[in-house]
């Protein structure tokens, strides 16, 4: 069994967050350390540690991440100008919280996509 992270506690509302959306499959809340004017995390309710752990049975929840991202982007007023969706995976992907999540980042123009950047 994978070890729970703080995101499971946020999903269960055991610790506070700025939650914007929740249904039977996913939860969305504002990132505590925003990197852009709009920075929202969209998270499957069930613990999938990383993108490297996804299984066919997760496809409904993973698809929901995108439809909720679209809805929240529209509500945030960033849909027309656009935004970036990011899923970091494990150490080389710079994933810090091992509960798969999608970052919705917008409200300003992003730089070019990073291909490789040494520490
Ligand atoms: P990662 O690097 O794993 O892709 O992103 C983890 C994100 O979770 C980071 O952007 C970080 O700011 C955010 N984060 C970490 N702990 C918390 C928390 O307790 N609450 C909220 N709202 N965001 C968190």
pLDDT mean for each 10 residues of the chain (119 residues): 94 98 98 98 98 98 98 98 98 97 97 72
| Three-state SS at 48 | coil
**CA dist., res. 119 & res. 24, Å (int):** 39
Nearest CA to ligand 1 atom 20: 32
Strand partners, 29: 19, 41
Tokens of 24: 């039977």
The domains located in the chain, with CATH, are 6-106 (3.30.428.10)
Q: Specify the pLDDT at position 113.
A: 82
Which residue among 32, 90, 91 has the greatest number of ligand 1 atoms within 8 angstroms of its CB, and so is best to mutate? 32
Which residue among 33, 94, 101 has the greatest number of ligand 1 atoms within 8 angstroms of its CB, and so is best to mutate? 33
Q: Specify the pLDDT at position 1.
A: 75
């Amino acid at each position: 069994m994978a070890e729970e992270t703080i995101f499971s506690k946020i999903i269960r509302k055991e610790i506070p967050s700025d939650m914007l959306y929740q249904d039977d499959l996913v939860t969305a809340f504002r990132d505590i350390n925003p990197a852009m004017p709009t920075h929202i995390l969209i998270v499957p309710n069930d613990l999938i540690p990383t993108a490297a752990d996804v299984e066919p049975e997760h496809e409904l929840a993973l698809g929901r991440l995108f439809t909720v991202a679209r809805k929240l982007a529209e509500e945030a007023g960033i849909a027309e100008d656009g935004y970036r969706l990011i899923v970091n995976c494990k150490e080389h992907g710079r994933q810090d919280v091992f509960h798969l999540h999608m970052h919705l980042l917008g409200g300003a123009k992003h730089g070019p996509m990073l291909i490789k950047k040494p520490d």
